[in-house]
Amino acid sequence: MAEAILRVFRGSREGGQPADYRVPLVPGMVVLDALHSIQAHQAPDLAVRWNCKAGKCGSCSAEVNGRPRLTCKTRMDSLPLDQPVTIFPMKAFPLIKDLVTDVSWNYKVNRKIPPFQPRPGVEWNMDQRDVDRVQEFRKCIECFLCQNVCHVLRDHAKQEQFGGPRFFVRVAGLEMHPLDGVSRTRLLKDELGIGLCNITKCCTEVCPEDIHITDNAIIPLKERVVDEFYDPLLMLVRKIRGATTP
């Protein structure tokens, strides 16, 4: 039977190194299946997160041959198998063990974002076209691969000042909700640091849901921030009136 070699990172915060495992191939096998096979037959304590195994929950993110992927959607037959397949944990998050990282920071960021609040006296009636516009952002399965590749987080570790692509998508899904009545522009500018993003589009490239994170979420949100806080005409008007910026 054909085999593949998986080179899987094994270790914890105290350190670690990759270990090689030979795994028999099955038609249609995905990387997550191969990891499960290792657990069942070779390394029962190999730490892996997963749930749905169908690309719907976003639990099984890892770096496969250096590319951030959902392991449940990465077919073994899509990878070159004449050399070991390397599987490493997401680099932008603190390691817990093996392929499992501490993603709790994301949940803290989410808590800063004011939830949906309807405009006063709103009628619960919407046009499908308005709904369609925002559905793209709501497809996000929170795999955090976009957070993992964002250089503001991965290389510059600006977790304190920056929300990351996932939460710009989240804000876009709320801000562009046809009936939402809250402004999150100041939050974007001050708390989520959207200005730090210099639109390299790394996030968009890795999104397993094909959300156009940069073009459809981040850039329009940046424009809103600019319109509200940096519009020269508005600034002049405010200065004359002696009003403070909102």
* Site membership for another protein, residue 26 (CB under 8 A): yes
SS3 166: helix
Q: In whole angstroms, what separates CA 37 from the centre of its chain?
A: 27
- Least separation in angstroms between residue 21's CB and another protein is 15
- Residue 110, interface with another protein (CB under 8 A)? yes
What is the token pair recorded at 213? 């994170």
Nearest alpha-carbon partner for 212 in 150, 140, 107: 140
- The correct pick among 17, 128, 198, 244 for binding another protein (CB under 8 A) is 128
Contact 30, 72 (CB under 8 A): yes
Q: Per CB under 8 A, which region of 81-89, 103-111, 184-192, 223-231 contacts another protein? A: 103-111
Check binding of 22 to another protein (CB under 8 A): no
Instruction: Please list every residue from 195 through 224 that binds another protein, using CB under 8 A.
Output: none
DSSP string, 84-153: PEEEE--TTS-EEETTEE--HHHHHHHHHS----BPTT--S---HHHHHHHHHHHT-----HHHHH-HHH
Residue among 2, 20, 24, 52 that touches another protein (CB under 8 A): 52
Residues near another protein (CB under 8 A): 12, 26-30, 33, 39-41, 44-59, 73, 75, 96-98, 100, 102-104, 107, 110-111, 114-116, 118, 124-128, 131, 134-135, 138-139, 141-142, 174, 177, 180
